[in-house]
Amino acid sequence: MELDERKKKILATVVESYIESAEPVGSKQIAEEYGISSATIRNELKLLEDYGLLEQPHVSAGRVPSTEGYRYYVDNLMKNDTLAMVDIDYINNNIVSYGSVEKTLEHAAEVVAKVLNLPTVLNVKSSDVVEQVKILKISEKVLLIILMSKSGTVKDVIVQINDTLPEERIDELTTLLNKNLKGTPLENLSLVLNDMIHKELKKFSHVLSEINKNMLDRVTKRKTEVKGDISNMLALPEFSDAEEIKKYLNVVGTNNIINEVLEKVEANDVSVIIGNEHKELLLKDYTLVSLDVTDNTTNASLGIISPKRVDYSKTINTLKLVNEKLRKIFNKD
């Protein structure tokens, strides 16, 4: 759809005013800004409504953007403003390597939450592999199993054993674990351990079973978590109703829905999905702005799920800068 310049300006004004104030925008407010008669503005607003770009919540109210209006704004009208220097400095100083890809992403999500003052959803799928296994004897019947991955992620688990293992048996177990597990994708760890138990390593079956049982939840295939203070989101006018709060908490708490949506984000790109553009009905009242981060061992997405009334420019530019910083970190590593 192509709009003339006046309609573009009016639509941009409605979207930006509504994002800032959460109040429907009337013809008088726009007329005063552009020095055009209220009657002319009302006609233009009516046409934009007919095009499906604006909505009128009540007969006597001003207009608010529709999903299509937000989409037209993001694709055609949004100013590509740079972030405030305080935000740029905060991102540059705080998006740094934390040793492993997973920990770096977790901290990056916290930085995004701080800059946008909104909770950030982090979704991580690891294709990382085992690099080394170490065993430390804490006491006669307690072992600490340390698993290090190729990306630098460290997983550890404490195992209680029935009988004391002499040092030579611990060394033997360490050698066997490294021989069988090195290069194994973390998501396949349980299968390999079970195979070891049922084959030649029955003498270590109890220890291996304990490792398998206690390590399983540490190396889940995909992990979704929310970073930042969710109360900041719930303080918005959209959540003045208790039912709306419950609905939003249900959305961010339903991991399989979040996983499915975030998996479709294009590699190394920022994606914006608005309202009924979502195929999932639970998300029809929300905007998802997300960043895909893919490297050799990890596929992850981080972003925000918010009401459609969100500062698109700041959100998108924040994620773009974070993406630049993460790409430099991961390429260097």
Residues 240 and 322 in one domain: yes
Average pLDDT over residues 89-96: 96
Task: Answer yes or no: is 124 within a domain.
Answer: no
User: Rounded CA gap, 53 and 32, in Å?
Assistant: 22
Instruction: Single out the residue of 307, 154, 292 nearest to residue 232, CA to CA.
Output: 307
Residues 242 and 290 in one domain: yes
Q: Using CB atoms within 10 Å of the CB of residue 63, give its burial: 0 to 12 exposed, 13 to 18 middle, 19+ buried.
A: buried
Task: Answer yes or no: is 27 within a domain.
Answer: yes
Q: What CATH code is carried by the domain that includes residue 13?
A: 1.10.10.10
Domain boundary residue, one of 165, 194, 218: 218
- pTM of structure: 0.75
Task: Answer yes or no: is 223 within a domain.
Answer: no
Task: Answer yes or no: is 105 within a domain.
Answer: yes
Residues 115 and 138 in one domain: no
Residues 96 and 16 in one domain: no
With cut-offs at 50, 70 and 90, classify the pLDDT of residue 219: low
- Per cent of the chain over pLDDT 70 is 92
**92 and 328 in contact (C-beta within 8 Å)?**
no
* Of residues 186 and 6, more confidently modeled: 6
Domain boundary residue, one of 218, 241, 267: 218
* Of residues 324 and 299, more confidently modeled: 324
Task: Answer yes or no: is 125 within a domain.
Answer: no
Task: Compute CA distances 283 → 65, 191, 236, 252, whole Å.
Answer: 17, 36, 17, 10
User: Rounded CA gap, 316 and 299, in Å?
Assistant: 20
Residues 232 and 324 in one domain: yes
Which are the contacts of 43, defined by CB distance < 8 A and separation ≥ 6? none
pLDDT at res. 296: 64
User: Rounded CA gap, 98 and 92, in Å?
Assistant: 14
Residues 256 and 317 in one domain: yes
Helix %, strand %, coil % of the chain (to 5): 55, 20, 25
Q: What CATH code is carried by the domain that includes residue 245?
A: 3.30.450.40
Q: What CATH code is carried by the domain that includes residue 153?
A: 3.30.390.60
Residues 205 and 269 in one domain: no
User: Rounded CA gap, 159 and 142, in Å?
Assistant: 6
Mean pLDDT across the chain: 87
Task: Answer yes or no: is 205 within a domain.
Answer: yes
Task: Answer yes or no: is 166 within a domain.
Answer: yes
pLDDT at res. 19: 96
What is the Cβ-side half-sphere exposure of residue 184, based on CA atoms within 13 angstroms? 21
pLDDT at res. 115: 96
Residue 166 per-residue DSSP state: -
* Of residues 39 and 197, more confidently modeled: 39
Q: Is the pLDDT of residue 257 over 80?
A: no
Which amino acid does the sequence have at 329? Answer: I
Which amino acid does the sequence have at 232? Answer: N
Q: Is the pLDDT of residue 80 over 90?
A: no
Residues 237 and 327 in one domain: yes
Looking at mean pLDDT, say which of 4-8, 124-128, 147-151 comes out highest. 4-8
Q: Is the pLDDT of residue 90 over 70?
A: yes
Residues 13 and 50 in one domain: yes
User: Rounded CA gap, 161 and 73, in Å?
Assistant: 62
Task: Answer yes or no: is 58 within a domain.
Answer: yes
User: Rounded CA gap, 78 and 76, in Å?
Assistant: 6
Residues 36 and 52 in one domain: yes
pLDDT at res. 263: 67
Residues 264 and 181 in one domain: no
**63 and 25 in contact (C-beta within 8 Å)?**
yes
Residues 142 and 183 in one domain: yes
With cut-offs at 50, 70 and 90, classify the pLDDT of residue 218: low
User: Rounded CA gap, 14 and 29, in Å?
Assistant: 10
Q: Which domain holds residue 136?
A: 130-218
User: Rounded CA gap, 280 and 171, in Å?
Assistant: 52
User: Rounded CA gap, 91 and 96, in Å?
Assistant: 9
* Of residues 60 and 32, more confidently modeled: 32
pLDDT at res. 212: 80
Average pLDDT over residues 121-132: 81
Give the chain's domain count: 3
Domain boundary residue, one of 190, 218, 246: 218
Q: Is the pLDDT of residue 269 over 90?
A: no
Average pLDDT over residues 66-78: 96
Q: Is the pLDDT of residue 222 over 70?
A: no
Which amino acid does the sequence have at 86? Answer: V
Q: What are phi and psi of 278, to 5 degrees?
A: -70, 135
Task: Compute CA distances 2 → 15, 45, 46, 218, whole Å.
Answer: 17, 16, 16, 52
Contacts of the segment 211-218: beta carbons below 8 A, 24+ positions apart:
211/145, 211/157, 211/159, 214/157, 214/158, 214/159, 215/145, 215/147, 215/155, 215/157, 215/189, 215/190, 216/189, 216/190, 218/155, 218/157
